[in-house]
């Protein structure tokens, strides 16, 4: 595969942006390669500047559940552009989108639109702290919730310690109110509630962890989180930035039958445009300014173009209810092909999956990081050379879209099976 033009563009970009990119994983560091520079995308495929055409399983890291450049969405966005790009004032389309979201996700009774998943989660945490009057938040090792200071943490020396910043530039004090537990470990959560009675504002969780590779919750884990928060006057926040509108129309809440107090959305809800949402119980959201004392604002929040892309995307998902079965079936075929190699352990939830190069089951961060990342890099290169674009890191999800054709799946399965 010739990537000369991408290489030249990367050389230029490296002098202009840190690592040549605007988000670190795009630099391909984890797979020891240089990134492809993308020129366009349509359906299941992306096209790079060198003219390579690839079947895309990154799907912009999740938004592309319908594939790329779905004509109805593009047309609506083009039309919306003719009316102006931003007003900084309310529009009726915001209420239209809000009604669609609320009808799909009953746990959301009231919501606020923002411009990214990071903002959505940061603001949801603030709302929950404001509502409860408590400071401590529990998050899980290996879960990612965007790059706000207080959530950029890893586990300390033991579970009972407060978190340590995972990034330079985050003052120690900024993560003092973040507690870290182990994903799928009820005991680690229980221990924190035992240690800090009446002090924990809430638990923040990816209902299917997808940022250490895909790690589904074990049976009863989410129900346990619901019960323990309820028992202790703490709030349960589902970070559905990835799972929202992906596992089902009602996201993980519907998929697992759990009603959290708050939900955050991003990615699919903006149909490929910058849009995030946080929402939940009315009395929590009524704490948000200008109604309440929890401040949160945004110049471009509820941007009319992003809202239009969101409305059109959700309309398609609501009208064509067969989509979820179709993408589940395609992902299951890929899961079987991956498992048949005998080289990986595959985790899957609906159309999200990860193949871990390890012999042991992966149920948390500790087991995920046992994966052989050098083997993943080899696999990544093999897939790329076979015309398939997968995540440039072992610890990311493979996203299946409704645009992946039977032929795409067949080609992908053949490539998987031929990997040695
Ligand atoms: C679960 C989860 N929450 C929050 C975020 C942050 O979203 P954004 O990158 O839009 O800021 C991400 C990003 O991948 C995510 O996966």
Whether the predicted pLDDT of 204 surpasses 80: yes
Helices 304-319 & 92-104 angle (0-180, nearest 10): 40
Are 101 and 279 contacting, i.e. CB atoms less than 8 angstroms apart?
yes
The Cα–Cα gap between 101 and 110 comes to 10
Q: Which residues of 13-42 are buried (b: 16+ CB within 10 A; e: fewer)?
A: beeeeeebbeeebbbbebbeebbbbbeebb
Whether the predicted pLDDT of 155 surpasses 70: no
Residue nearest to atom 7 of ligand 1 (CA): 117
The Cα–Cα gap between 119 and 122 comes to 5
Neighbours of 393 (CB within 10 A): 18
From ligand 1's centre to the CA of 117, what distance in Å? 5
Ligand 1: lining residues by beta carbon, under 6 Å: 61, 116-118, 121, 144-146, 206, 211, 239, 241-242, 266
Whether the predicted pLDDT of 340 surpasses 50: yes
**Token digits for 297?**
């604002």
* Long-range interactions of 37-41: CB distance < 8 A, separation 24+: 37/5, 37/6, 37/9, 37/10, 40/69, 41/68, 41/69
Residue nearest to atom 3 of ligand 1 (CA): 145
Listed in order, strand segments (DSSP E) in 146-199 are 153-154, 164-165, 178-181
What per-residue confidence (pLDDT) applies to 156?
41
H or E element that contains 285? helix 282-285
Whether the predicted pLDDT of 199 surpasses 70: yes
**How many residues in total does the chain contain?**
420
Per DSSP bridges, beta strands 398-399 and 352-356 are antiparallel
From ligand 1's centre to the CA of 242, what distance in Å? 7
pLDDT tens-digit readout, 111-154: 999 999 999 999 999 999 999 999 999 999 999 999 999 999 87
Whether the predicted pLDDT of 161 surpasses 70: no
Ligand 1 closest atom vs CA 143: 1
Whether the predicted pLDDT of 162 surpasses 80: no
Nearest of 114, 117, 138, 134 to residue 126 by alpha carbon: 134
Q: Is 397 helix (H, G, I), strand (E, B) or coil?
A: coil
Ligand 1 closest atom vs CA 240: 1
Residue nearest to atom 13 of ligand 1 (CA): 146
What per-residue confidence (pLDDT) applies to 163?
66
Per DSSP bridges, beta strands 136-140 and 110-114 are unpaired
**pLDDT confidence band for 164 (50 / 70 / 90):** confident
**Token digits for 245?**
């509108």
From ligand 1's centre to the CA of 410, what distance in Å? 30
Residue nearest to atom 8 of ligand 1 (CA): 117
From ligand 1's centre to the CA of 145, what distance in Å? 5
Mean pLDDT calculated for residue range 247-275: 98
DSSP 8-state code for residue 37: P
Backbone φ, ψ for residue 203 (5° rounding): -110, 130
Place of tokens 């033991």: 158
The Cα–Cα gap between 123 and 263 comes to 11
Ligand 1 closest atom vs CA 117: 7
Residue nearest to atom 10 of ligand 1 (CA): 117
Cis peptide before 290 (omega within 30 of 0): yes
Q: Is 149 helix (H, G, I), strand (E, B) or coil?
A: helix
**pLDDT confidence band for 394 (50 / 70 / 90):** very high
Residues pairing with 280 in the sheet: 110, 262
Mean pLDDT calculated for residue range 54-63: 98
Whether the predicted pLDDT of 401 surpasses 50: yes
Ligand 1 closest atom vs CA 62: 14
**pLDDT confidence band for 420 (50 / 70 / 90):** confident
Mean pLDDT calculated for residue range 162-172: 82
pLDDT tens-digit readout, 293-313: 999 999 999 999 999 999 999
Q: Which residues of 183-192 are buried (b: 16+ CB within 10 A; e: fewer)?
A: bbbbebbebb
Are 163 and 150 contacting, i.e. CB atoms less than 8 angstroms apart?
no
The Cα–Cα gap between 139 and 175 comes to 11
What pTM was estimated for this model as a whole? 0.97
**Token digits for 218?**
């074990």
From ligand 1's centre to the CA of 209, what distance in Å? 11
- Residue percentage of the chain with pLDDT more than 70: 98
Neighbours of 133 (CB within 10 A): 7
DSSP 8-state code for residue 209: B
Are 272 and 64 contacting, i.e. CB atoms less than 8 angstroms apart?
yes
Catalytic residues: 144, 239, 267
């Amino acid at each position: 595969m010739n990537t000369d033009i991408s290489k030249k563009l990367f050389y230029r970009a490296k002098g202009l942006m840190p690592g040549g990119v605007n988000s670190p994983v795009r630099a391909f560091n984890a797979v020891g390669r240089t990134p492809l520079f993308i020129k366009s995308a349509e359906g299941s495929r992306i096209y790079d500047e060198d003219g390579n055409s690839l079947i895309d399983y990154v799907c912009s890291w999740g938004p592309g559940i319908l594939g790329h450049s779905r004509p109805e969405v593009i047309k609506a966005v083009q039309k919306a552009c003719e009316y102006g790009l931003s007003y900084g004032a309310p529009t009726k389309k915001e209420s239209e989108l809000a009604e669609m979201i609320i009808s799909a996700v009953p746990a959301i009774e009231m919501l606020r639109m923002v411009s990214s998943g990071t903002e959505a989660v940061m603001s949801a945490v603030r709302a929950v702290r404001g509502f409860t009057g408590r400071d401590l938040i529990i998050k899980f090792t290996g879960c990612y919730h965007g790059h706000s200071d207080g959530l950029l943490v890893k586990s300390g020396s033991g579970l009972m310690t407060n978190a340590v910043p995972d990034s330079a530039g985050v003052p120690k004090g900024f993560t003092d109110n973040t507690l870290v537990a182990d994903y799928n470990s009820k005991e680690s959560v229980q221990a924190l509630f035992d240690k800090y009675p009446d002090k924990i504002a809430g638990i923040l969780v990816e209902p299917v962890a997808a940022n250490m590779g895909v790690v589904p919750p074990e049976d009863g884990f989410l129900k346990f989180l619901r019960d323990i928060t309820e028992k202790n006057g703490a709030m349960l926040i589902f970070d559905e930035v990835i799972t929202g509108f992906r596992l089902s129309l009602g996201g993980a809440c519907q998929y697992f039958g759990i009603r959290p107090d708050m939900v955050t959305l991003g990615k699919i809800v903006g149909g490929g445009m910058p849009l995030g949402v946080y929402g939940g119980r009315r009395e929590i959201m009524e704490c948000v300014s200008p109604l309440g004392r929890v401040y949160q604002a945004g110049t471009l929040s509820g941007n009319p173009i992003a809202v239009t892309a969101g409305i059109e995307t959700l309309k398609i998902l609501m009208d064509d209810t067969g989509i979820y079965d179709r993408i589940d079936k395609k992902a299951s075929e890929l899961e079987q092909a991956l498992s048949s190699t005998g080289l990986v352990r595959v985790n899957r939830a609906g159309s999200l999956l990860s193949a871990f190069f390890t012999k042991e089951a992966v149920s948390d961060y500790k087991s995920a990081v046992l994966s052989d990342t050098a083997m993943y890099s080899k696999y990544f290169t093999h897939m790329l050379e076979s015309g398939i674009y997968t995540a440039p890191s072992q610890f990311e999800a493979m996203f299946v879209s409704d645009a992946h054709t039977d032929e795409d799946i067949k080609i992908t399965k053949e490539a998987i099976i031929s990997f040695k």
